[in-house]
Structure 1
Amino acid sequence: MTARPTGHYVLKDDGLYLQFDRLFYAPIEDVWFSLTNPNAMRAWIGTYTGSPATGGVRFRMESEGEGEWQNVTILECAAPHRFTADSGSGPTGIRLFCHLVEGGGMTTLTLGQRLHDPTESADMGPGWDYYLDRLAAARAGTPQPAWETYFPAFSRHYRELEVPDAARR
């Protein structure tokens, strides 16, 4: 696999998102498991504790060592098709969504993170490309990609993305 920047802007009712798509030759339930099972998540991004059914969990990035635990609020969960979650609050809070669609023996994952400012995408974009490629590698049982392939190399792509006119208002 050759790494390349894949994110693009999408304007939604609640703001501007940097969005990514990945295609997996797997059933939707299998991809959902990779995104939502705390043990499966360890292979590509991190883990969580708690019960998502309560509307909140504690998440920790583990792919680069042990990070800090973060409180995550689950705003929507419709297994195995979509979830929306918030991590943190105020100006540094993160809103993330994942949508899954299955067809023809393949599942498309669409992941988006809401932006506070389009300039964030120069750092955020390479990170999500990296983590989604880590997800693909974990699922395929292939070696994990190197962070140096993504950052700072992909930052220029994200700095040059065209922001939708409606998001500039």
Structure 2
Amino acid sequence: MTAKPTGHYLQRTDGLYLQFDRLFHAPIEDVWYSLTNPTAMKSWIGTYTGRPSTGGVRFQMIEEGADWMNVSILECDAPHRFTADSGSGPTAVRVFCHLVEGGGMTTLTLGQRVSGADDAASIGPGWDYYLDRLIAARNRAPHPVWETYYPVFSGFYRDLVIPAPTPANRTVEASAPLD
């Protein structure tokens, strides 16, 4: 697999998001498991403790030395979508995942709320890297190398044009499915 930056902006009612799409030749439940099972998550991003049904878990990224963080689960409609927040205040991180299945394939759309181009320049390479790790883990292939993504992709994300808010792109609901 040749790494390339894949994110684009999406304006939603609750802010500007950097969004990524990946296609899997697998049933939706299988991809959902990779995104939400703490053991399966260890192979590509990290793990969590706690029970998501309570509305919150503690999550730790796979990178060495990463701290455990509290994550609030704002929405969960298995196996189609979830939205979660980690942290609070101006440093809070909001992430959503939407899955759609058709023709034996599942599309994963993942987005993280960003404040602008500088934010995207560090977040974009990270999500490209972790989503490519997800693909590699599911295919039992070697994981990609971080240095292939960062800082190499930062310029792409810094130069992405942020869409001007218009009635057409301002009306996307925070929980609306993206087909």
TM-score (norm 1): 0.96
Query: How many matched pairs?
Result: 166
Cα separation, 1, equivalents of 2:66 and 2:39: 16
CA deviations 1:56-101 (Å, max 9, x no partner) are 0000011x22411100000000000000000000010000000000
Which letter does structure 2 place at the counterpart of 1:52?
P
Give 3-state SS (helix, strand or coil) of 1:31's partner: helix
Matched residue, 1:146: 145
Cα separation, 1, equivalents of 2:48 and 2:86: 12
Cα separation, 2, equivalents of 1:140 and 1:155: 27
Cα separation, 2, equivalents of 1:66 and 1:159: 27
Matched residue, 2:107: 108
Deviates more, 1:110-119 or 1:43-52: 110-119
Structure 1, unmatched stretches of 5+, are none
CA deviations 1:106-145 (Å, max 9, x no partner) are 0000000001233200000000000000000000000000
Cα separation, 1, equivalents of 2:164 and 2:84: 26
Give 3-state SS (helix, strand or coil) of 1:35's partner: helix
Which letter does structure 1 place at the counterpart of 2:159?
E
Identity of aligned residues (%): 70
RMSD of Structure 2 on Structure 1 (CA): 0.9
Matched residue, 2:118: 119
Cα separation, 2, equivalents of 1:50 and 1:32: 18
Give structure 1 regions of 4+ aligned residues with deviation exceeding 3 angstroms. none
Cα separation, 2, equivalents of 1:113 and 1:106: 23
Matched residue, 1:81: 80
Cα separation, 2, equivalents of 1:140 and 1:147: 18
- Does the 8 Å contact 2:121/2:158 carry over to 1? yes
Cα separation, 2, equivalents of 1:153 and 1:116: 21
- Does the 8 Å contact 1:60/1:66 carry over to 2? no
Cα separation, 1, equivalents of 2:116 and 2:21: 21
Give 3-state SS (helix, strand or coil) of 1:144's partner: coil
Which letter does structure 1 place at the counterpart of 2:23?
L
Give 3-state SS (helix, strand or coil) of 2:165's partner: helix
After superposition, residues 2-151 of structure 1 pair within 5 angstroms as: 2-62=2-62, 64-151=63-150
Give 3-state SS (helix, strand or coil) of 1:165's partner: coil
Cα separation, 2, equivalents of 1:40 and 1:79: 16
